[in-house]
Every structure is written in structure tokens, then in C-alpha cells.
């Protein structure tokens, strides 16, 4: 995780929090932290504040600082980066011989350095690698024991002082009317000021907290229902479950995971969905159509207008058309909670207003199944199975009847003026007659 740190601003904020936030009352601020750091680990201190360009002729990076005191947190540890670059270059057994090899060598060196210093070579919603700033890697929780979130009633306020400046109002806050974690976090991410939805880390912890509560509740219910159950004729007890043999039997029969069937995304949940689809196939027959719908979110100007408007930015259709691909991605990533429901809203309306309409564009729809997945860049898409009334069945009706039904609803064409496309696309359809099987002859 990357944060741009300004020590003077942090010190000012800490003084305010100590005065207004009950969680920071006992926090002690060390105004001489730079001097203490230098005294505790002089070698590390020297490396952090040094200028690598000095003493370069000696083959070593210098560790003398020309910057004024008090700005160490705003400096780049360039001596570390330079040493890392030197070590990467020295580890190359084969030196580049041509210009092409040299450029490839530089690209690989830069990628390796970027991956090692920043953690990931690619930019995503949670890792932004194009920050032109001084980066220092630290471990804020070093030598401490992690605490389960539900064991800490103020975990949310403590982790997010920017969202809870007065230290109250989080999930563990005592309320007259109790609210489930799921409903609580839904309200938070849909809050009008947007302070929660703009923080990807908060979205992660919200999902984790809600799912953890769900899993814990399912475990509690499963333990209550297990009373009197037997495994191979033996009553289930705590001692029995310490035996690896019986645990493996529960896992082999999928009984060990059965309690997770109501936890969305778990293997047991998707196994239940799988069985539901098999039941639909048994009752309704094979589905007629397989349909995939991808989100053309880059071509939804109203979505960009909506997300930009939440942050006080007004975009016209002309402004949106002039946005680059990367700029559009940044806008979509800034509020995934708004982008995802937009896709679901469009899918629901596509089925209710189009596929289920009296026009019957794919035939009279009798039933369907939809599964939502997410692509590499986070854009959702839907896979659907459609059952159509009176649709012909392969191997029951003739191939001519099946092809006639398909041609009635599905067509493919290329624009006559697009000769390049026509030269690239060649559609050949060949109907192979069914193979007549002869009876098997057995010798006496």
C-alpha cells in the first residue's frame, strides 16, 4: 500500500486527533524521531538520506545528505534503488551484444527494479505504480500480534480516522436498533458524500467483515445441527473430529464444506448452483441458447457523467468523447460500487424489456439462468442459458428443422464497403448427415 506522507501535515493532524478523537487521547508523539532513528541504526539512517551521485567514482554510493534536517520522509532512497540496479545488472550472465538486446536488457532491468521496489509491475485499482514520489518501505505493524476485527469493537474507527474523525459511529457502535454488518456497509458505500466508496481499502475490509460474519454464523448453525449425527456409526464428538481419518471422510463426502453453501463465492455455494442448473436441464431439457453479455462501459457516457458528478465534476458528451482510454479507466475505478449496479440494471432491463417482450427476438423465453463474472480489468460480463418454447431438439428433429430455427433468429453479415473485413472473414457452413449405426454382430 502506498501513501504520500507529509510529516508536518501528519503532526498537525495528530494534534487535532488527540484533542477531538477519544481513540488518540493516549497517543504519544515523538518530536525527535529523526535523531532517535539515527542513533538506533546509523547505517540505515545514512542509507535513507544519502545522495547516490556523490563518491560515484569510488564505486560506492555516498550517504551524505545535502538536504535540510526534518525532510527525511520526503526524500528518495536513491542509494537503495541504485544499489538494486547495480545488483540486477551484475546478475546478468550474458551481456547485451546488439542495440536490440541492449534495449530489451534495459526494459527487463526497469521492470525488475519496479517490481522489487514497488511490489507489482502493473498498475491496478489498488497498486498505482506511476507515482513520481520518494518511496520508503516500512512495516507499521512490525513486532505486533494481529487482532481479529470482531475482537476489536472500534476496528473501523481506528483504521479510518479520516472517515471517523471523532472516533465513533463504526460497525461496533452501540445502537438502539441493531443492524447487520451487510446492511451497515451497504449504507456506508452508498453514502451521499462518497468518502467510503472512494477508498478501495475500505471496500476490501467491508466485504471481508461482512463475509466473515456470515461464515461464523453458518459455523454456529452447523455446530448446533450436528448434535446426534454419526460418521460410520459413531456419534460426532470433538474427540472424533481430532482423528484425521474421520475428517478426511467428511471432506471426501463434501460434508466438511456443506455449511458454506449460503456463503456466496464459496465452492459449496457454486456446487449448489451447479446442481440447480442440472435440475433445470432435467426438467426443461437442454437449453436452447447460450448468451454472453459484456459491459460496454467505455461507451456509456451517462455512467461517466454520474461518477464524475459524484465528485463535483461536470462532463458533457463532448468531454467524455475526448477522454482517453486511461482517463476513462481512472473514472470507472474511482467508484466500482456505481459501475457494477449499472451493469446489473442494464442486464435486468435487457431481459425484461427485450428478451421477454412480445416481439420474442429469440423465441418465447420460458426460463433462463445467469452467472455474472468479472474480466481482468474488473469489467463485469454475464453468461446465460436460455430455454425457448417449442425449440427443436438436436438428434430428435432433423438437421434441416434445427438449421431453419437457428436461421430464423440468428444472422451474420458484413458491411459491403468493408472489403478488408470480408477478406478476413470466411463463414462456411456444412451440414453433415447423421451417421447410421449398424447393429453390432457378435460371433457365437
- pTM score: 0.62
Task: Map residue 82 onto helix, strand or coil.
Answer: helix
Residue range 331-336: mean pLDDT, rounded: 84
Contacts of 219 (CB under 8 A, 6+ apart): 259
- pLDDT score of 438: 52
C-alpha span between 306 and 313 (Å, rounded) = 9
- pLDDT score of 347: 93
CA 6 to chain centre: 29
C-beta separation of 300 from 252 below 8 A: no
Q: Which of 224, 362, 366 is nearest to 289 (CA)?
A: 362
Question: Confidence class of residue 87 from pLDDT cuts 50, 70 and 90?
Answer: very low
- pLDDT score of 425: 66
C-beta separation of 229 from 259 below 8 A: no
Question: Confidence class of residue 150 from pLDDT cuts 50, 70 and 90?
Answer: confident
Report for 255-259, 273-277, 308-312, 419-423: range of highest mean pLDDT? 273-277
Is residue 73 scored above 50 in pLDDT?
Answer: no
Q: List pLDDT tens digits, range 351-377.
A: 999 999 999 999 999 999 999 988 766
Question: Confidence class of residue 281 from pLDDT cuts 50, 70 and 90?
Answer: very high
Question: Confidence class of residue 137 from pLDDT cuts 50, 70 and 90?
Answer: low
Is residue 17 scored above 80 in pLDDT?
Answer: yes
- pLDDT score of 84: 37
Question: Confidence class of residue 75 from pLDDT cuts 50, 70 and 90?
Answer: very low
Let me know how many helices (H) and strands (E) the chain has, helices first: 16, 5
Q: List pLDDT tens digits, range 191-230.
A: 887 888 888 888 888 988 888 888 888 888 877 777 767 7
C-beta separation of 197 from 337 below 8 A: yes
C-alpha span between 132 and 4 (Å, rounded) = 10
C-beta separation of 231 from 248 below 8 A: no
DSSP state of 363: B
DSSP per position, 119-186 = S-SS--SS------S------TTTT-----GGG-TTHHHHH-TTT-TTS--STTS--SS---HHHHHH
C-alpha span between 131 and 77 (Å, rounded) = 15
User: Where along the chain do its domains lie?
Assistant: 32-118, 286-391
φ, ψ for residue 396, nearest 5 deg: -110, -60
DSSP state of 76: -
DSSP state of 266: S
Question: Would strands 234-235 and 230-231 be described as parallel, antiparallel, or unpaired?
Answer: antiparallel
Choose the weakest-confidence range: 140-144, 225-229, 292-296, 321-325: 225-229
Task: Map residue 201 onto helix, strand or coil.
Answer: helix
DSSP H helices in 226-290: 244-252, 267-284
CA 171 to chain centre: 23
Give every strand in the sheet of 365-374, ordered side by side. 289-294, 380-388, 365-374
Amino acid at each position: 500500500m502506498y501513501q504520500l506522507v507529509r510529516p508536518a501535515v501528519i503532526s498537525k493532524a495528530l494534534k487535532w486527533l488527540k484533542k477531538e478523537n477519544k481513540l488518540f487521547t493516549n497517543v504519544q508523539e515523538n518530536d525527535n524521531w529523526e535523531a532517535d532513528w539515527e542513533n538506533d541504526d546509523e547505517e540505515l539512517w545514512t542509507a535513507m538520506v544519502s545522495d547516490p551521485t556523490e563518491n560515484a567514482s569510488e564505486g560506492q554510493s555516498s550517504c551524505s545528505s545535502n538536504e535540510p534536517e526534518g525532510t527525511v520522509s520526503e526524500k528518495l532512497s536513491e542509494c537503495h534503488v541504485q544499489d538494486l540496479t547495480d545488483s540486477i545488472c551484475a546478475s546478468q550472465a550474458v551481456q547485451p551484444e546488439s542495440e536490440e538486446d541492449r534495449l530489451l536488457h534495459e526494459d527487463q532491468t526497469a521492470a525488475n527494479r519496479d517490481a522489487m521496489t514497488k511490489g507489482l509491475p502493473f498498475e491496478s485499482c489498488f497498486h498505482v505504480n506511476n507515482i513520481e514520489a520518494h518511496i520508503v518501505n516500512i512495516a507499521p505493524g512490525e513486532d505486533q500480534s494481529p487482532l481479529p476485527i470482531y475482537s476489536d469493537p472500534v476496528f473501523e474507527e481506528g483504521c479510518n480516522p479520516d472517515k471517523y474523525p471523532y472516533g465513533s459511529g463504526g460497525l461496533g457502535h452501540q445502537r438502539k436498533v441493531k443492524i447487520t454488518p451487510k446492511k451497515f456497509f451497504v449504507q456506508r458505500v452508498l453514502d451521499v458524500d462518497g468518502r467510503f466508496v472512494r477508498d478501495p481499502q475500505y471496500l476490501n475490509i467491508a466485504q471481508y467483515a461482512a463475509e466473515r460474519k456470515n461464515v461464523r454464523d453458518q459455523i454456529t448453525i452447523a455446530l448446533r445441527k450436528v448434535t446426534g449425527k454419526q460418521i460410520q456409526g459413531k456419534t460426532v464428538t470433538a474427540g472424533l473430529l481430532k482423528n484425521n481419518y474421520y475428517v478426511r471422510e467428511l471432506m471426501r463426502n463434501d460434508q466438511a464444506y456443506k455449511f458454506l453453501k449460503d456463503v456466496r463465492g464459496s465452492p459449496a455455494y457454486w456446487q449448489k448452483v451447479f446442481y440447480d442448473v442440472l435440475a433445470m436441464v432435467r426438467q426443461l431439457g437442454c437449453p436452447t441458447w447460450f448468451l454472453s453479455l459484456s459491459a460496454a462501459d467505455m461507451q456509456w457516457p451517462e455512467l461517466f457523467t454520474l461518477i464524475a458528478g459524484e465528485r463535483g465534476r461536470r462532463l458533457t458528451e463532448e468531454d467524455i468523447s475526448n477522454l482517453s482510454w486511461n482517463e476513462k479507466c481512472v473514472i470507472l475505478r474511482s467508484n466500482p460500487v456505481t459501475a457494477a449496479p449499472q451493469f446489473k440494471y442494464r442486464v435486468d432491463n435487457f431481459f425484461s424489456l427485450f428478451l421477454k417482450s412480445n416481439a420474442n427476438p429469440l423465441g418465447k423465453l420460458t426460463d433462463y439462468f445467469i452467472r455474472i463474472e468479472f474480466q481482468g480489468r474488473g469489467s463485469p460480463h454475464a453468461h446465460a442459458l436460455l430455454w425457448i418454447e417449442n425449440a427443436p431438439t438436436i438428434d430428435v428433429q432433423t438437421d434441416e428443422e434445427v438449421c431453419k430455427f437457428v436461421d430464423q433468429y440468428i444472422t451474420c453479415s458484413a458491411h459491403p464497403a468493408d472489403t478488408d473485413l470480408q477478406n478476413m472473414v470466411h463463414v462456411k457452413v456444412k451440414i453433415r448427415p447423421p451417421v447410421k449405426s449398424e447393429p453390432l454382430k457378435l460371433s457365437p
